[in-house]
Chains A and B, each alone.
Chain A
Amino acid sequence: MTDMANHDATTTPRPRHPAVEAFEMFTRNLSAIVGLVLLMLIILGAFLGPMLYPTDPFEMVWAPFTPPGQEGFLLGTDYLGRDLLAALLNGARVTLLVGASAALLSVCIGVTVGALSGYYSGFVEEALMRVTEFFQVLPTLLFCMVIVALFGTSLHMIVLAIGVVSWTGVARIARSEVMRIKQLEYVLAARASGATHSQIILFTILPNAMPPIIVQATLMVGSAILFEASLSFLGLTDPNVVSWGQVIGANRQYILDSSFAVTIPGLAIFVTVLAISLIGDGLNDALNPKLRRR
């Protein structure tokens, strides 16, 4: 009898923390790791690159339209003879910072709106759902363009504009999670033990609603980067900072002479967003194992 008990204790593994399991599942996912490594490299390039390669991205350094690899310019020069590699390295920082802060802002708005409208019923829910619906019908990019055009093209304004238009997806997910969780027994237990509404929302429900929100937040960074790229491609960006979309927008009239000045920065945006969506997919598989077969 004692033997069997010992035997059981050694073969059945201790139930591990779900976060540990998720982490292991994530690290076993090859494409997610590829995404993570790519993103790390891009972040390193963004923050160390300008130090290691101090060419000014606004300065005319050589003849215009120098093809990549010639005259010592790894990625060539653009229509004003500016070094594309320098533009790429300096633009990465803006792209990443704007993307991450806009995503953070939209996640904050989305989670607040979603949690409140999922938790409360009646007037609060109705009002918040209407607001969400309203932001869903606003053509997001046009609205951003209008905001930036009316209130100026500072990076703060761009972050604000992107954040304000892109939270509805997060709100929908947060709301449905909160609505599901608020019916569970541990929420009832929390209420029975005298927790206030805000305590229940903040400490009981939200931590359990986080997995899908984290996945969505990751993907939001990608779409915020695409958003910023579109705005700066259209020229609606701070003219004193380089960003990838802006380089493409400035060079697009010259695609006959130098298609590389358009394709290379575009490739940079593509690879960055791709890396982020691979990480997002990996997180999705790791955090929502039930949906894995999708």
Chain B
Amino acid sequence: MNHLGTFLIRMGNAAVLLGSVLVLNFLLIHMAPGDVADTIAQSMGGADAEVMAQIRAEYRLDDPFLVQLTRYIGNVLRFDLGHSYFYNEPVTDLILRRLPATLLLVVTAQVLALLVGIILGVYSSRNPRGIFSHLITALSLFGFSAPVFWTGLLLLIALSLRLPLFPVAGMVDPTLDGGVWVRALDIAHHMVLPVLALSSIFLALYSRLSRASMMEVLESDYIRTAEAKGLGNTKVVYKHALKNAVSPVITLAGLQFSAVVSGAVVVETVFSWPGLGTLAFEAILARDTPTILGILFFSSLVVIVGNLLTDAAHRLVDPRLRRRG
């Protein structure tokens, strides 16, 4: 199968997944107790049956299920995710404004966790009884067992309240006046603690797996061949072994995207990071259903795109996948 064909299949697959998320979204609204009319009536302070019927007719809630579903999907295809009752603003605008902050957090945390995790893993695989290896074991136990909001709060208490090194909350300092670089630096400064908290879970996971995978690869025959050819140790490890050892780590990273987004929701709430997570939190407290479902849709999109990118990265490091198609 050629490259274009594979690409099209993948895109089609992604589209089907997204479509399923939409159907699920719609089913959820449909099944949930109360409907749009109830919410609007509630915000008006109650309404009689006549007004309720009027609202239902206006929002065409009496149409058959499939008609409503088709209309909903059609709207989403035109980037219309509905109107937020709480923010009184189209949901799409609301989400697009908050999305960059979440993407910044999620991508930075994921990349940092992967890079540091692989480096730690490779380093400790060459010295399995050394201090680094024990560090990874301890780190992975902590990363798996500590609730991410607690890690975040501990970082906040230690590095922001006791030692005022980092800002307590938010993403930018509104009083700051300066050029692009000053502002970028300011965002980076605000990002340190949330990124550390979020990546702690995944750092643990990736370092542990890359250590295991590297130890396995280092025992294989072609590594012995490379060593027998007289190649230097560094070259064997980084050129021959690493390429094969990172493959399972990348697969795992791809599977973790939904967990990273979930973690971001909590971390954003802890650090008042102005992303989708805090928006979701506020929307849920306000029972703003269109916004909540819009966020669910967009974050599924983030996960799907993340998976596609992981897949592309996988093909880049592993030529065998490219050939197989």
Q: Which residues in A have some Cβ–Cβ distance to B below 8 Å?
A: 130, 133-134, 136-143, 145-147, 149-152, 222, 226, 229-230, 233-236, 245, 248, 252, 255-256, 259, 262-263, 266-267, 269-271, 273-274, 277-278, 293-294
Contact = CB atoms under 8 A, between A and B. Distances in A.
Given A139-B299, A141-B262, A269 B161 contact: no
B20 interface: yes
B259 A233 contact: no
Nearest to B254: A136
Interface string B1-29: 00000000000000011001100100011
Contact of A138 (B21, B33, B148, B150): B21
Nearest to A269: B147
Contacts of A267: 150
A137 to B, nearest CB: 5
B17 A137 contact: yes
Contacts of B148: 226, 230
B157 A270 contact: no
Contacts, number: 141
How many interface residues does chain B have, given as a range?
35 or more
Contact of B150 (A130, A146, A270): A270
Given A136-B255, A266-B153, 8 more contacts: A133-B17, A145-B265, A146-B284, A150-B29, A234-B266, A266-B146, A273-B146, A277-B141
Nearest to B292: A146
Contacts of B17: 133-134, 137
A263 B154 contact: yes
- Please indicate which of the listed interface residues A133, A143, A273 has the most CB atoms of chain B within 10 Å of its own CB: A143
Contact of A150 (B32, B285, B307): B32
Given A137-B258, A142-B295, A147 B28 contact: yes
A161 to B, nearest CB: 11
A134 B23 CA distance: 12
B269 A234 contact: yes
A137 B156 contact: no
Interface string B139-175: 0011011111110011011000100000000000000
A248 B296 contact: no
Nearest to B285: A235
Nearest to B209: A294
Interface SS of A by simple majority: helix
Contacts of A245: 147, 149
A141 B296 contact: no
Contacts of B212: 294
Given A138-B21, A149-B292, A269-B147, A233 B266 contact: yes
Given A140-B262, A277-B141, A255 B161 contact: yes
A50 B161 CA distance: 34
Given A142-B261, A150-B32, A270 B144 contact: no
Contact of A149 (B16, B156, B255, B287): B287
Interface string B261-275: 111011001100000
Given A137-B17, A139-B300, A139-B303, A236 B284 contact: yes
Contacts of B150: 248, 262-263, 266-267, 269-270
Given A140-B262, A274-B141, A145 B299 contact: no
B260 to A, nearest CB: 9
A267 B154 CA distance: 10
A222 B287 contact: no
